[in-house]
Every structure is written in structure tokens, then in C-alpha cells.
Amino acid sequence: MKRLIMTAIILGISHGYAQTTNLTFQWHGQTMGVDFVLTNLSKSVKIAIRDDIAYSMSLIPTNNVVFEVFQPTSPSYGKYTGFVDFHAPRINYCEGILCFYKIVGGNVRWQIGEEACAEYLAAISLTNKYATAMNSFSNFYHTLLIGFDTTGMTIEEKKAFFWGPHADEIEEEIGAEFEAGITATLSWRPTPLPDWAFPPRPSILAFSEWKIGKIDDLPTPDLLCLAKHWTSENKSTKRPFVYVGGRWRLSLMEF
């Protein structure tokens, strides 16, 4: 059954604090802001990036974040206040996105660099291209967390929640226990959910267009979502979801 259980950098001081749109958010009672190296980002894009960073940061306890201050011997001294180190256990998409920071008016302002901006622009473009699919993920994920209502569903309808090449093999292998197993996988949700069950709703950076091509005789997905999740036992878990046939499904394949 294990296979059925879902196996901001400013380039220089010349850009200045004045070029920001004063985008701030709260992180466990602390005010933070974001500055962008790219000056051609629209306000709506900046807000979308700020909101995603605010959500990702909300998942991280304060004792898992260490703000390192640059010393005078550092080549970045005078350019930034310092950089951040995220400690395990980690549940976030901030590594590689939130690196350098400045202290402005007593608050941390994240310096969102060119590469991070490019990643977010691609993610926002994806959400626009697949608006229906992306908008439907929230409802799918909410149901995933609380459990699906399988009352009156046929075994084929239950199997349709999964995508992968192994379902038929597993059904053959375990026989009569198969339906009971996938029913429990879909509907059983203890309270509270254990750490290993499902990661928090992912950042928009978790989504990508399907690029792997066709696999066996399976229908080809449009989108892949890899929801990163670290626990004290496993620091590299990724829960995969695919959007295929007009709906989100739990992937039985690992990526």
C-alpha cells in the first residue's frame, strides 16, 4: 500500500529603496518586505510574488530561520545586511528565492534577484495559461486533506483519482484487498494529520508544464505539481500530483 499512499536580489545600491512599491507582509508578528532587481515588473506581478513568499514563509517557524550578518571582510558587505539560512525541518520554497536581505527601518526586506524573478514570471505565466487547472487545484487539495467521499463510488471511479502505471499490477497482486485499500487511501484522514501524510499547499513555484512525454499507455498530463515536504525523518519528500483529463490526480510515480 505504500505505493498507493502518495508515494529578492537588488544588483546595486543605485536601485535604492525608493524604487520599491512598499510591499510588506507579516511573518509571525514581524513585518517584512520585498525588493526586486527587475524594475519592469508590474505591480500585480510584484504583489503575486509577495503573496506567494508570504505564504511560504508562514510555514516556517522562527526558530528554523537564522539571519546571518555580513562582516566587513565579506564582498557583499555594504551591499546587503546579510543572508538567511533555513534550518530543517523545512517546508518551504524559499531556498534559492530568499537569500540576501537588508534591514530598512528596522525591518527585513528580502532582495529578490533576477533569477528568482524569472522563476516567478514563468510560474505566473503558467497560472495564466492554465487558469482553469490552477484554480481547481485549491478545491482538489482541500478535499485531499479532509478525505474524499467515496460513498456509492465504483472501483473504477476510485481508481480514477490515481495516475500511474502500477495500479493494475497492484490490483492483481493483492486481489480483493485492493478496493478496500484505495478506499481507505482516499477517505481515511486522522485528526490531526501526521507529518508524513500530506505537505502543506504548495507555492506556485511547485507547478510546471509536463515535459516528460508519454509514459506507457497512460494519458499524458498537462501539468505536474511537486509539493516539497521535509519531516524529521525524511528531508527530501516530494508528493507528486498531475493534471490530466481535466482533473487533478494523485500520481503513483515518483519524480
Q: Between 94 and 241, where is the model more confident?
A: 241
Is residue 191 located within the same domain as residue 157? yes
72 alpha-carbon distance from chain centroid: 36
| Domain end marker among 81, 98, 118 | 118
Q: Report the pLDDT averaged over residues 51-78.
A: 92
Out of 126-135, 183-192, 204-213, pick the least confident: 183-192
The reply to whether 6 falls in a domain is no
Residue 176's pLDDT is: 75
Is residue 175 located within the same domain as residue 204? yes
Q: Report the pLDDT averaged over residues 5-10.
A: 26
Handedness of CA 133, 138, 141, 147 (dihedral sign): negative
Q: Report the pLDDT averaged over residues 201-218.
A: 91
Is residue 91 located within the same domain as residue 153? no
Is residue 64 located within the same domain as residue 174? no
Per residue in 75-108, pLDDT tens? 999 999 999 988 765 566 777 789 999 999 999 9
Residue 230's pLDDT is: 65
Q: How many domains does one find in the chain?
A: 2
The reply to whether 125 falls in a domain is no
Pairing of strands 237-244, 223-229: antiparallel
| Domain end marker among 88, 118, 148 | 118
DSSP letter at 80 equals: B
Is residue 68 located within the same domain as residue 90? yes
pTM of the full structure: 0.81
Per DSSP, the residues of 81-141 read SEEEEEPSS---S-TTTS-EEEEETTEEEEEE-HHHHHHHHHHHHHHHHTHHHHHHHHHHH
Residue 198's pLDDT is: 78
DSSP letter at 71 equals: P
Domain interval for residue 58: 13-118
